[in-house]
Structure 1
Amino acid sequence: MTKGKDLPSYIHRRKRDGVLLFRKRVAGKIIEVRLETQFPEGTPVPFALHQERERLIAQPEPVAIGKDMASVLKQYKSLPKFGDLAPRTRSDYDKHLQYFADKLGTLSPKQIERYHVIAWRDAWAKQHSPHFANYRARVLSIVLEHAKDMGLLKKTDENPAKGLKALKYEKQERQEWPAEKVEGFRKAFGYGTRERTCFELCLGTGQRIGDVLKMQWSHIRGASIAVKQSKTGKRLEIPMTEHLRAALAAADRNKESLFILPKDMSKTKTPGPWAYRSAAQAMRKAREAVGAQAYDLHSLRYTAGVELLLAGCSDDQIGSITGQSLEMVRHYTKSVRQRARAEEAQRKRENVTWKRT
């Protein structure tokens, strides 16, 4: 093999057949790549050869097996702390972890720098939303912390995603369902429909949709329903409202399924709970039908807290239904509290008998 005076560095022409090869030492070994750009000996070097050479020189060195991001992700997913995440959180993480595996799997954690993360975050914000981008960046930070634990980043090295300033955006505060929207939904979807059963379970128990979909007939104990919250692990026994009792009495109880909200058995042979995605899509259509697009299923959890507050319940009593801390109870009901205080203030204002002089 000869280099040839006309060839740039790293480029050699094989003697036996004249094929041009790119050769470079990587980690103590010589790698050899057949070039796409080939030309006869003695002719001018084409510009394409210089372009291909620059590309090959700029390529990152291959990452050793077990030291790439794919290995970090695989190990992270095997950790007990990942398995202990709430099912919904774990499902959310999984989507981002798969993205990282597809896009970053061949990289070494050392190759990821802060400016990379910032550029990726900004691109994710444009493609999806600032909230989505901030969340994905947080998951990446968690993964890179595990890379430290694996010894792939020095303990003194800065996690390039850690402490990244979140993108600011105007948050849409959830509001409780207005009374007319609640009534409109009940008129549009009668007892016996899955939409109505789901609606009354969410509103009547004040629980997250994920926990509602797991509710089984065996959880009903007289006039109450037993709940174990997936996110907090709390066990609650919640007396049922009149609307919820009526909805359950009219529900079509599928003998093949243990769940109050089962899968559509006309589309599957495997019994189980109504899938989150299917339920969300069906309830989205139902909300659109009654003009309640601005109020999602989680807003029913807010609505439950507001109804209890307006009924004169204390924060502790509200928390006994929703399973929330007193701080979260106040957060979920802050809008109605503000309105109530404002109304009382204005009444006092109107009742003032003296006049300005």
Structure 2
Amino acid sequence: MTKKDLPKFVYADRGYIRFIRRARGQSVMMKEEPGTPEFWDHYNRLLRGREPAPTKRTFEALILSYYESDGFKKLKPRTQADYRTYISHIRKIWGTKDPAKIETHHVYELHRANAQRWRQANYLVQVMVVLMNHARLIGFIKKEHGNPAKGIPLFKQQSDGWEPWPDDVRAEFEALATPRARLVYELCIGTGQRIGDILKARWGHFEGGAYDLTQGKTNAPLWIPLTDRLKAYLATVEKRGLAVITDRAGRPASYRAVNDEMLAVRAKMKHPDKAKYVTHGLRKNATIELYLAGNKDELVQAVTGHSSVEMLKKYGGQLRQRELATRAQEARNRFEQNRKET
């Protein structure tokens, strides 16, 4: 649907129709189908500056209200996009339902129905918690009823998460990588950052021998000294624009284009398990290398920007435990040796 198909002050907005009249400070979602009598009735009331009639309490109305809330507007764009994906699923199955009639067992059943994709199932529950909190704020459910989505036992991560790339996989990738794929690889390894933050990197962020950034996911400011290896590699890279990762015209490269290129390189590899080593796993490589170098949690966290030590432990995995245990036992041996000598 284009603007030509809509009347004055009405715009298509991310799957919804919105009435926007800035002179009056009006910005209202319209759930009616354009062209229907209900749509024109609502439109005419908005033109006259009148508030629409009280909304029936449904998930459709709850979702529209949440999208207008400060809580949603303050989310990072990436988080907003993630929320919209899961909210659209909830809207599809429960759009006409009254939120007040949703009980814990309904949310539990929704969670179990998506068990084959445990990450998505857990995210659905987390989004439901947010929606039902908003339902309480706008009076759709009573405070004493509590939040029916809270307390649902989430599925546990079935592994230690993304696999770090072993040496043979790294060697084969380095040999086959295109220049841009190799640059992404070196930046991920050298800085320990997520691919999203690598793609946002500008040459100006690398002044003074460090990567100066604000993480997209955590909004945390970081200043990360470059490794000698990364410094040497960046010195060989031709600067084709302000961005470090660019397309052929020197414009910032898109996530999709870079991801497709990384996949294409891995597709050429001979390693039998090549499919399980994704770009995000390189962040785990960086984390493990920092631990193997003898750094404590606080120092590793200063580089990777992980928001919690628990997440660091997952990224460090068994190698982290082995290194810490080795150092602990070596210290114990030194203590025993010193005691014998005294």
Note whether the superposition's TM-score is higher than 0.5: yes
Identity of aligned residues (%): 33
Provide the C-alpha distance between the structure 2 equivalents of 1:329 and 1:74, rounded to a whole number of angstroms. 37
Deviations 1:72-97 (A, max 9, x none): 11222233332333443332212111
Please give the alpha-carbon distance, in whole angstroms, between the structure 2 residues aligned to 1:325 and 1:112: 33
Within-5 A mapping of 1:157-306: 157-167=145-155, 170-189=158-177, 193-255=179-241, 258-263=242-247, 265=249, 273-290=252-269, 291-306=273-288
Give a deviation string over 1:307-331, Cα, whole Å, max 9, x none. Answer: 2222333433323322236724444
1:94 aligns with 84
Q: Is the 8 A contact 1:315 1:326 kept in 2?
A: no
Give TM-score scaled by structure 1 length. 0.67
Q: Give the aligned partner of residue 51 of structure 1.
A: none
Higher helix residue share: 2
Distance 1:72 1:247, change over 3 A: farther
Partner of 2:107: 117
Gaps of 5+ in 1: 1-62, 266-270, 349-357
- 2:329 and 2:90 map into 1 onto residues whose CA distance is 55
Match 1:152 to one of 135, 140, 156: 140
Report the Cα offset of residue 335 of structure 1. Answer: 1.7
Q: Match of 2:265, as an amino acid?
A: A
User: Which residue does 1:103 correspond to in 2?
Assistant: 93
- Please give the secondary structure, in 1, of the residue aligned with 2:321: helix
Q: 1:76 aligns with which of 46, 53, 66?
A: 66
After superposition, the Cα gap between the structure-2 partners of 1:211 and 1:83, relative to the gap in structure 1 and judged at 3 Å, is: farther
CA RMSD of aligned residues (A): 3.1
Query: Separation in 1 of the partners of 2:107 and 2:248?
Result: 43
User: Partners in 2 of 1:99 and 1:272 — Cα distance?
Assistant: 35
Measure, in 1, the Cα distance between the counterparts of 2:194 and 2:109.
35
Q: 1:120 to 1:323 in 2, by over 3 A?
A: closer
Match in the other structure for 2:321: 338
Give the partner amino acid of 2:59: M
CA distance in 1, matches of 2:251, 2:128: 33
Equivalents in 2 of 1:312, 1:118: separation in Å?
A: 44
Q: TM-score, normalised by structure 2?
A: 0.69
SS in 2 for 1:220: helix
Aligned to 1:297, what secondary structure does the other structure show?
coil
Partner Cα separation in structure 2 for residue 136 and residue 297 of structure 1 = 25
Alignment of 1:139 onto 2:127 = yes
Q: Aligned in 2, Cα 1:201/1:85: closer, same or farther, shift over 3 Å? A: same
User: Partner letter of residue 253 of structure 2?
Assistant: W
Which protein shows a greater Rg? 1
Cα–Cα, structure 1 residues 263 and 104, in superposed 2: closer, same or farther, change >3 Å? farther
> In the TM superposition, what whole-angstrom CA distance separates every residue of 1:18-61 from its partner, at most 9, and x where no partner exists?
xxxxxxxxxxxxxxxxxxxxxxxxxxxxxxxxxxxxxxxxxxxx
Instruction: Give structure 2 stretches of 5+ with no counterpart.
Output: 1-52, 334-342
CA-CA distance at 1:202 after TM superposition: 0.9
Once the two structures are superposed, residues 270-313 of structure 1 have per-residue CA deviations (whole angstroms, 9 ceiling, x without a partner) of x8643334433332333343353222222211111222222333
